[in-house]
Amino acid sequence: MILLIMSIVLSSYLTLSFKMLGRLNIPALQAIVVNYFTCVITGSLVNGSFPISHASTAQPWFRWAILMGIFFIILFNIIAFTAQNIGVAVASVANKLSLVIPFLFSIYWYDEKLSVLKVAGIVLALTAVLLTCWPHKDIQGSSIKSANGLLLLVPLVLFVGSGLLDTMVKYVEQGFLNDANNDAYFITAFAVAGVTGTITLLVQLARGKQQFDRRAIPAGILIGIPNYFSLWSLVKVLAANKGNSSAIFPVINIGIVLFSTLIAFFLFREKLSRLNWAGIGVAVVAIYLMTIG
């Protein structure tokens, strides 16, 4: 239970932190890059040493770590953009209702139980994503004033990408990881994300599209430590509940959606349309059905 709550709170913190970056005008990409190198250092301290070696490249999980690292840097930037320009609630729902994808994967690949209630939950979850992400003219703090159709695509891309990432976490955890190589795998993924982000950032700095902001260093550190432990706790929860991930993902993700939305409402005074609120309500019902189904 402690690890479950830990995963919910820390994952919510990540989305909320991107909103704060926007409020403070700290370049998101710079903070994200620092965040991933902070994850590498944090993981190494937890592990007791830097676990990546030449032998790691021959491990079956290594290519998955590279792919996950690339996913990390892309999705973190999409989450930051969504939280800053559309809203924390939208970013949270689009990100976490992507549980539909690993949910279906667990049913299909691991032969987990499928019921009528779970199917109904999937349909409602997809409806909830559309309603919650539907843009409106009163999006507070948005820098996007037109092209609502294109704006809608951003959380949908986040929805699909996050779902694929969670599926990858489940697949690799089930097929390749154990207590001996967990840290090496995730630290490798974080390192790949950091290097990929650094290359992208250097190109932007060289082309004058960004200017270095020293505030990104402490901001990235404050994001990176919770980021590492959010993934660490998720893997621990999945490992402790093998054969039941189709229920674990809904429980964690609805907690993240509700916690993030409430904090954003009270802390950032985010405004949501009636459709957006309806989507959040439908999300609660959808994940409840998938949990009890």
Nearest to 244 by CA among 186, 179, 282, 292: 292
Nearest to 197 by CA among 14, 37, 15, 12: 37
Burial group, residue 223, by CB count within 10 angstroms (0-12, 13-18, 19+):
buried
From first to last of its 293 residues, the chain has per-residue pLDDT tens of 788 889 889 988 987 898 888 889 999 899 999 999 999 999 999 888 888 887 788 888 999 999 999 998 998 888 888 877 777 767 776 776 777 788 788 888 877 777 888 788 878 877 876 776 666 555 444 444 444 556 667 878 888 888 898 889 888 888 888 878 888 888 999 999 999 999 999 999 999 988 999 999 999 999 999 999 998 888 888 777 776 666 677 777 777 777 877 787 788 777 777 887 888 888 788 778 877 77
